[in-house]
Amino acid sequence: MSNEMKAMRIHELGGGFQLENIPIPKPGPNEALLKLKATGVGLTLAIMRKTQGLINNYPRVMGHEIAGEVVEIGSEVPSEIINIGDIATCHFYLTCKNCNYCRSGRESLCENFKGFFGLVMDGGYAEYTVVPAVNLCKVPSEVTPLDACLAADAICTPYHNCITEAQIKPGNTVAICGAGGGVAIHAVQMAQLCGGHVIGIDVSNKKLEAVSELGAFATVNPMENDVTEELFALTDGKGVDVYIDYVATKETLEIGMDTLGRAGKLIIVGYRPPSAFDGTLPNFSVDPLKVLNNAQEIHGSRYCSMDELRQSLELLRQKKIKPIVTETFKLEELEIAFQALLKNKVTGRAAILFD
Ligand SMILES: [Zn+2]
């Protein structure tokens, strides 16, 4: 193989991607080199690209939702973790694997968090990438690389949201805000897999059609209807059992608080840094008496554990979750993909497919 690869790199905070030929990275003793097959493109990175303090060095290759073939492994990597020829995906958080949170399966709360794969080290918008072996997760042979890359965020995040945080039970009504987006569209499915009765909320009717096709019993478009009124009407005035917010503006979070029923749970997943949007703070108000009297819960839900990533791949293998990728792009078209996302034009996920 040649010593160089194509990579899309950014050179400054919020800067555009530039196609460059750079040396293929060398894996260290505890790392592996992957030849990329597919890398997801989602709003998370479109936001992170513009957020101060996440990328520690420029130029940088972003891209965390990866699936690739292992082509080289470091001398210290145990064969139990990964072998040459395996297809692997990657846990997004670089964690210590040693603190109490890591050891109790809550890696996303790591006390010694080192940053994100694809932000403090180069990621998957290149032909090759180096990944710490402890972050690698082997992909079952029945799962295609395109589907597997989604497991690394668009599917494992809703797994954590619906199963670990919301603990959705059969018969629960679950409102999903931003339901047609790349992560949320898989939450629509995950919530139903738990037995939830899903109401999808989105500003795009095209996205809501996709949400309905996936089984949501009702959809609400805030541009056409009052969401609070609709959620009470759809629940016989009781309010929802779970409200998962993938948009998380002041407005959407307050609708969530207003429409929670008894013992209702608000799950906060998205965050919009004011600097990356229009400067508006997403801080929202909470009526403590209502929370107290109704024993309601507010959950912050951060990414997932390694186990949850494995379980997400297993759900793909069992075909219990349908991966929704509506648009694929070549590596060189990455900026076009990001712009389509920022214009809210992509239903479900977009992804880069490699030759
Ligand atoms: Zn830790």
pLDDT tens string 68-120: 999 999 999 999 999 999 999 999 999 999 999 999 999 999 999 999 999 99
Centroid of ligand 1 to alpha carbon of 96 (angstroms): 4
Centroid of ligand 1 to alpha carbon of 118 (angstroms): 19
CB 346 within 8 A of CB 340: yes
The model's pTM: 0.96
CB 266 within 8 A of CB 296: yes
Centroid of ligand 1 to alpha carbon of 163 (angstroms): 22
Centroid of ligand 1 to alpha carbon of 98 (angstroms): 5
Centroid of ligand 1 to alpha carbon of 56 (angstroms): 20
Centroid of ligand 1 to alpha carbon of 61 (angstroms): 25
The predicted pLDDT at position 207 comes to 96
CB within 8 Å of 176: residues ≥ 6 apart? 184, 187, 188, 191, 198, 199, 200, 201, 211, 216, 244, 246
Is pLDDT at 1 greater than 80 in this prediction? no
Q: Which fold is adopted by the domain 4-138+324-353?
A: Quinone Oxidoreductase; Chain A, domain 1 (3.90.180)
CB 125 within 8 A of CB 63: yes
Centroid of ligand 1 to alpha carbon of 303 (angstroms): 14
Q: So what's the architecture of 156-300 in CATH?
A: Alpha-Beta Complex (3.90)
Residue 276 corresponds to which amino acid?
Answer: A
Eight-state DSSP code of residue 189: H
Report the C-alpha gap between 195 and 216 in whole angstroms: 12
The predicted pLDDT at position 36 comes to 98
Residue 75 β-bridge partners: none
Centroid of ligand 1 to alpha carbon of 308 (angstroms): 16
Centroid of ligand 1 to alpha carbon of 112 (angstroms): 5
Model pLDDT for residues 281-339, shown as the tens digit of each residue: 899 999 999 999 999 999 999 999 999 999 999 999 999 999 999 999 999 999 999 99
Backbone angles phi, psi at 213, to 5 degrees: -60, -30
Q: Which of 55-64, 134-143, 236-245, 265-274 has the lowest mean pLDDT?
A: 265-274
Q: Which of 178, 22, 211 is nearest to 219 (CA)?
A: 211
Burial of 144 (0-12, 13-18, 19+ CB in 10 A): middle
Centroid of ligand 1 to alpha carbon of 115 (angstroms): 12
Is pLDDT at 274 greater than 90 in this prediction? no
**Average pLDDT of 124-130?**
98
Is pLDDT at 275 greater than 80 in this prediction? no
**Average pLDDT of 41-56?**
90
**Average pLDDT of 120-137?**
97
- For residue 258, give the 3-state DSSP assignment: helix
CB 191 within 8 A of CB 217: no
What is the average pLDDT score of the chain? 96
The predicted pLDDT at position 277 comes to 73
Is pLDDT at 259 greater than 70 in this prediction? yes
Domain with CATH 3.90.180.10 in the chain: 4-138+324-353, 156-300
Centroid of ligand 1 to alpha carbon of 298 (angstroms): 24
Higher pLDDT, 273 or 129: 129
Centroid of ligand 1 to alpha carbon of 121 (angstroms): 18
Centroid of ligand 1 to alpha carbon of 95 (angstroms): 5
Eight-state DSSP code of residue 112: T
Centroid of ligand 1 to alpha carbon of 110 (angstroms): 4
The predicted pLDDT at position 293 comes to 98
Centroid of ligand 1 to alpha carbon of 103 (angstroms): 7
Centroid of ligand 1 to alpha carbon of 20 (angstroms): 35
Centroid of ligand 1 to alpha carbon of 59 (angstroms): 27
The predicted pLDDT at position 271 comes to 83
Centroid of ligand 1 to alpha carbon of 135 (angstroms): 13
The predicted pLDDT at position 344 comes to 87
Q: Which long-range contacts (CB under 8 A, 24 or more apart) does 2-8 make?
A: 5/126, 5/127, 5/128, 6/126, 6/127, 6/331, 6/332, 7/61, 7/122, 7/125, 7/126, 7/127, 8/61, 8/125, 8/126, 8/331, 8/332, 8/334, 8/335
Report the C-alpha gap between 122 and 130 in whole angstroms: 8
Report the C-alpha gap between 114 and 235 in whole angstroms: 43
Centroid of ligand 1 to alpha carbon of 179 (angstroms): 32
CB 179 within 8 A of CB 158: no
Centroid of ligand 1 to alpha carbon of 272 (angstroms): 26
Report the C-alpha gap between 317 and 7 in whole angstroms: 30
Centroid of ligand 1 to alpha carbon of 107 (angstroms): 6
**Average pLDDT of 223-244?**
98
Residue 67 β-bridge partners: 38
